[in-house]
Structure 1
Amino acid sequence: MSVSRSLYLDQIKALIVALVIALHAPMAFGGMGWIGVRIPIEESVGPFFNGFFGWYGYAINSFIMQMMFLISGYFVPRSVHKKGVARYLKDRLLRLGVPFLVGMLLINNSSLLLSRLSPASPYSELQWNNQPFNSVMVLWFLVVLFAFDLLYCTWVVIRGNRFSVDTSVVMPGLRSWLMSAVVLGILEVAMTMQTNLWIALVRSPLNALGLQGMHTFTYGFLFFLGCKASFHRWFERLDTHLVMKWFRLSVFLLLSLLGLSMTLSFNTHLVDEPVKIVLLVYFLYPFIAWGILSYLIVWFQRNEHRNGQWLAAAGVNSYGAYVIHSFVLVAVLMAIGFIGLNPWLIAIIATALTAIISFAVTGQLRKIPVVARVL
């Protein structure tokens, strides 16, 4: 893959992981907090705050992990062809397995132990045998990604290990974009309605899959779309006219949902069954994602040199930053969350500090050759 292509994709990865952190920081204001760090704000905020952050989480979650799976899939076919299935899977076990084990046993458990010391932690009163130790938390992404890797490698074993770029294949057009969004939106709703499954997963060591599992079909579609795109250089051949039309639709939907969230926050009596709103939002997820994902790809392609090497370097460190950010965020929230700061400032400062520290620490760790092999 060319340096140019790697540059803009690395820049996107840096942005997406920063947005993951931005998504997680305000969770400290919710019921269970962020991995046990809960900052009580009920008496200091009004409906505007609640309405905004009620929308904020759904808005960011509508495209961030989708982009991570799309980009991950884009690199797979070339790598499998170059290394062969056996060596590729061995390398993936190392690169995904080691961070997973270290993250689950050391980072996640340390986060739980530290969070129990926070003033309002819901975990502080739980007995030790009821603490959610050895849980996957944010590492669910590694589990699902490896499952998709296995599926692709199985297909390669059956069909043969062939890789060649063929730009004569026609790009998917508006009809394909629309049909895929409709089908995946319906699947999102159908999966979300499997509440017993998600509740069981939330209470298990696979807890985060109870929050993300309903999006599995969308994530899988985008991973394999990324694989297909690498055969035909679809990222580089995106129809900018179609991208801009769909991006406008995505922005319209996001703003409409913001208006809906604000309306319901100021008028809580309007909806008797909030779950119906959640189902509507999840149905719209693919419609929002298609525009945001394609626009980011086009924009970063056009501006990769303006953003420079620093953002691409951050993208190289993004995987490690993702793995360690859960502990860093716990520490930052405990440092600034209980000193009387305005909740808006807490969310902004926690996001910025966690991103800076996570990327910087990963950059230093990657200077160690052994660590660089897995991060």
Structure 2
Amino acid sequence: MTVAVTSAEEATETRPIAGGRNAALDRARTFIILLVLIHHSVIPYTYYGRIDRQSFLGFDAVVTFNDSFFMAAMFLLSGLFTWPSLQRRGVSDFLRGRWLRLGLPFAIGAVFLMPSAYYAIELRNSGTGFGAFWWKTVTVGPWESGPIWFLAVLLAFDMLAAAVFRVAPGCVEAIGRLVTASLDRPAYAFWTFLAASVVVYVPMDHYFGIGRWFTLGPLAIQAARVFLYLLYFFVGVGIGSVRSDRSLLSSDGEFARRWPIWLAVTIVSYVGLIAMIYYKREYLPDPNNPPQGWDAVHAFFFASFSAAQTVNLLALFLKFDSRGSSILDPLRENSFGIFLIHYVPLLWLQYALFGVTLAPIPQVTAILKALIVFALTLAISWAVTEALRKIPGVARVL
């Protein structure tokens, strides 16, 4: 199973790490899905980006933490299973499977689920009927795809990986050899990965800026992060292409044992990122148009944190949650469905709570609203996914 992408059936079949399935990666992927739900649950109640009238400054730190790494980490984790699947199934069968498990859910989500979700926002702003809103969405736009833009981009990356597999497989395997060249000294791979993240992200951020998206109908991707996501995906593909008796992602390897180093770099880069955002908001005369110097330093910390936290997440799960049972295990089989469905109940719950006061202190109200939205969104998405997976054939997709 890849993050929000691959069914449990395929996950069981693909083994990117010698010796069988890696429980730590399963749990890391499930954890990221929960971060996605938390991220979307708190956004309306952030201090600087508030949508509701109640807000809590701590949610800004949560949103910055998540947004700066978790999509890139999802691409890396998804890439881990790509090469073994191509080797086992061949290009044609692999692509058929990808279109079924990514293309079909994206199409259903873009045409039905996302308009149903965004209609909650439309109702707050106007009294337009759903039929008119849906028609305007798919004909005039904007055609918002919400979080499922990830599925379309991952499908495009999978198609690119299939092309590389056909014409130049040695390129990917070279990445894997570079990353795993010295398993006893994983710092080499870590610093190389961090430096590559900075190199591919900072120039794109300088040229396109933070907020620009490339869009075509429901297809979308953040402009500055195109190459960053591509890098993480192919690093994952490269690691998954290496077959040996030892693995970089072994629970008892040096990579996992050196988690305090990756954690320290994560903390330093995150503090730098928060400091840059605070400086922009509190001291720059025009926070919406920061100078190039600020943008360059912010981009450096963003890329550094993205790399460090992705590595840190993997190392912590490999070290501390790779054996026995976990509280994340019950969610594993339904994580893709939860990811695909969650935006519908989430936006409607936020709509229902909009403007409602739950406590005399605004910050407490914001926290309570976020907790209610998260808990009910998880429960509803989980229950719907469980029900859908009982329908013959649906479990192959969800």
- TM-score interval, smaller chain: 0.7 to 0.9
- The secondary structure found in structure 2 opposite 1:245 is helix
Residue identity opposite 1:27 in structure 2: I
Q: Specify which of 384, 387, 395 is matched with residue 361 of structure 1.
A: 384
Residue identity opposite 2:95 in structure 1: L
- The secondary structure found in structure 1 opposite 2:385 is helix
1:347 maps to which residue? Answer: 370
TM-score with structure 1 setting the length: 0.81
Q: Specify which of 41, 52, 55 is matched with residue 40 of structure 1.
A: 52
Residue identity opposite 2:166 in structure 1: V
Distance in 1 between residues matched to 2:394 and 2:257, nearest whole Å: 43
Residue identity opposite 1:361 in structure 2: V
Identity %: 25
Unmatched tracts of structure 2, length 5 or more: 1-14, 359-364
Are 1:213 and 2:244 an aligned pair? Answer: no
CA contact (8 A) 1:54 1:261 kept: no
CA contact (8 A) 1:185 1:283 kept: yes
Are 1:334 and 2:334 an aligned pair? Answer: no
Q: CA deviation at 1:263?
A: 5.9
Residue identity opposite 1:76 in structure 2: T
- 5 Å-filtered alignment, 1:241-260, equals 242-260=258-276
Change in CA separation of 1:228 and 1:200 when aligned onto 2, cut-off 3 Å: closer
1:223 maps to which residue? Answer: 233
2:33 maps to which residue? Answer: 17
Distance in 2 between residues matched to 1:270 and 1:144, nearest whole Å: 33
- 5 Å-filtered alignment, 1:85-104, equals 85-104=91-110
1:372 maps to which residue? Answer: 395
CA contact (8 A) 2:85 2:94 kept: yes
2:149 maps to which residue? Answer: 140
- 5 Å-filtered alignment, 1:1-375, equals 1=15, 5-29=21-45, 39-41=51-53, 44-45=54-55, 49-50=56-57, 52-118=58-124, 121=125, 128=133, 129=136, 132=141, 134-159=143-168, 169-171=181-183, 173-195=186-208, 199=212, 201=214, 204-206=216-218, 208-209=220-221, 212-230=222-240, 231-232=242-243, 233-236=247-250, 237-240=253-256, 242-262=258-278, 265=281, 273-274=289-290, 277=294, 279-304=296-321, 308=325, 311-341=328-358, 342-375=365-398
Residue identity opposite 1:347 in structure 2: A
CA contact (8 A) 1:246 1:290 kept: no
Residue identity opposite 1:67 in structure 2: A
2:4 maps to which residue? Answer: none
CA contact (8 A) 1:238 1:298 kept: no
Change in CA separation of 1:195 and 1:258 when aligned onto 2, cut-off 3 Å: closer
CA contact (8 A) 2:30 2:332 kept: yes
Change in CA separation of 1:123 and 1:234 when aligned onto 2, cut-off 3 Å: farther
- The secondary structure found in structure 2 opposite 1:201 is strand
Distance in 2 between residues matched to 1:180 and 1:282, nearest whole Å: 16
Q: CA deviation at 1:94?
A: 0.7
CA contact (8 A) 2:280 2:290 kept: no
TM-score with structure 2 setting the length: 0.77
Change in CA separation of 1:197 and 1:226 when aligned onto 2, cut-off 3 Å: closer
Distance in 2 between residues matched to 1:132 and 1:80, nearest whole Å: 37
Distance in 1 between residues matched to 2:127 and 2:89, nearest whole Å: 45
Distance in 1 between residues matched to 2:378 and 2:299, nearest whole Å: 27
CA contact (8 A) 1:66 1:219 kept: yes
Unmatched tracts of structure 1, length 5 or more: none
- The secondary structure found in structure 1 opposite 2:390 is coil
Residue identity opposite 1:248 in structure 2: A
Change in CA separation of 1:349 and 1:63 when aligned onto 2, cut-off 3 Å: same
Q: CA deviation at 1:227?
A: 1.5
CA contact (8 A) 2:209 2:224 kept: no
Distance in 2 between residues matched to 1:221 and 1:57, nearest whole Å: 23
2:361 maps to which residue? Answer: none
CA contact (8 A) 1:39 1:338 kept: no
Residue identity opposite 2:354 in structure 1: G
Greater CA drift, 222-231 or 250-259: 250-259
Residue identity opposite 1:152 in structure 2: A
Change in CA separation of 1:262 and 1:351 when aligned onto 2, cut-off 3 Å: farther
RMSD: 3.6
Q: How many residues align?
A: 358
